Every structure is written in C-alpha cells, then in structure tokens.
C-alpha cells in the first residue's frame, strides 16, 4: 500500500511534482521572486515535504546531477592506484549517460528568463570544485604529480559541467550529452594522464 502526501499525491511523485512546480514558478516569476512556500503551494505538498527532498530551492535544480556526481566520486575513489585516463573518462561519461532533460537542463536553457545566471554560476562552481578535487585525488593516487593531478582534475570536471550546459542550451532533445562530453574530453588531449 502506498502512502499519500497532502492533496492525495503519492509520495513517490512528490520530488518530481516539486521540481515541476519550481520550474514553472521560476519561469513565471523568476528565481528570486519564488519562495519555497510558493513551490509547495503550487505542488500541493507541505513545506516539510519539500525539505524531505531538497535542502534549498537551488537543490531542486541540481539534485539529479548531484546524485550522479556522488556516484562518480565514489567510483573514482574505488579506483585507487589502478586509475587510468581511460577508466576515469568512463566514470565521467557515466555522469551524463542516459541523462534526460530535467530541471537543471531547463534552467540552463532558460537561465535568463528564470533569473538564474548568477545562481547557476555559483552552483556550477561548487560542483566543479567537488568533482575536480575527486579527479585530482584519483590522479594523485595513480602516481600523477600534484600539480598535473590538479590540472587534470579541473580540466575534466570543467568538461563534464560545460558539456551539460552546452547540451542543455542547444536543446536537450537534440542529441546526447555523452556525445558533447566525448568531444570535450577530446580537447584535453594536451593533458595526457601520464
């Protein structure tokens, strides 16, 4: 038996319902003019339901990518000394594999209309730093010197996040983000793994 939340919505769909409501409101009113209360009212769920899924309204946009980055970081840590450029690139490709249009893709494509430019720059920077540090640790564990490991980490993390942005801005239905990321990773050829 599935339990239901407020307004008879199944709990399993509350996350998606909240994300949809948030995106609608961001497009209608702008990001700054939309409160968590506005989102929960539009979604027909309680404020506490919102915080069961998201820590903040910006997390509505990033939760899907954050989960994928978390899995990638875990996979990078598991490589240890066995990390190679190829194994790392495979892990990074998993971040965008089968990535479907989601709130982040919508926000990236409509950043100006939603009033999200500054928020996206800040939040992208946080994800970039997190993924870059994990990449750098993987390279260092495999014996790459520290400066080169940091450069490799920053370049590869930038390739992932830039690829998602470019894919979304081009229209998320026009191809796969994996294709964009493969092209971006190809531009890092001057920074070989070893």
Quote the CA–CA distance of 74 and 79 in Å, as a whole number: 9
| 163, 180 contact by CB (below 8 A) | yes
Instruction: Give residue-wise pLDDT tens across range 39-93.
Output: 999 999 999 999 999 999 999 999 889 999 999 999 999 998 899 888 999 999 9
Cα angle 29, 32, 38 (rounded to 5 degrees) comes to: 60
Q: How many residues appear in the chain?
A: 194
SS3 160: helix
Tell me the whole-structure pTM to 2 decimals: 0.85
More confident residue, 8 or 136: 136
The residues near 13 (Cβ < 8 Å, ≥ 6 apart) are none
Q: Output the pLDDT for position 186.
A: 87
What's the pLDDT score for residue 80? Answer: 87
Q: Residue 117: what pLDDT?
A: 93
Selected residue with higher pLDDT from 173 and 3: 173
Q: For the chain, what percent of residues have pLDDT higher than 90? A: 74
Q: Residue 10 in contact with residue 49, Cβ under 8 Å?
A: no
- Identify the band that residue 160 occupies on the pLDDT scale cut at 50, 70 and 90: very high
Q: How much is the pLDDT for 188?
A: 84
């Amino acid at each position: 038996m599935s339990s239901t939340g407020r307004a008879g919505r199944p709990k399993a769909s509350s996350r998606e319902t909240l994300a949809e409501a948030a995106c609608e409101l961001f497009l209608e009113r702008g990001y700054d003019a939309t409160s968590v209360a506005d989102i929960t009212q539009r979604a027909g769920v309680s404020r506490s339901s919102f915080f069961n899924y998201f820590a903040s309204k910006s997390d509505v946009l990033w939760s899907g990518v954050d989960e994928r980055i978390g899995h990638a970081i875990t996979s990078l840590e598991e490589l240890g000394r066995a990390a190679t450029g190829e194994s790392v690139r495979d892990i990074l490709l998993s971040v965008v594999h089968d990535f479907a249009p989601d709130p982040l893709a919508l926000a990236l494509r409509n950043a100006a209309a939603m009033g999200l430019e500054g928020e996206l720059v800040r939040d992208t920077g946080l994800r970039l730093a997190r993924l870059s540090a994990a990449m750098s640790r993987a390279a260092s564990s495999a014996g790459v010197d520290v400066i080169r490991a940091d450069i490799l980490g920053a370049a590869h993390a930038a390739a992932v996040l830039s690829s998602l942005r470019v894919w979304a801005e081009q229209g998320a239905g026009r191809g796969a983000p994996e294709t964009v990321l493969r092209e971006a990773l190809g531009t890092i050829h001057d920074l070989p793994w070893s």
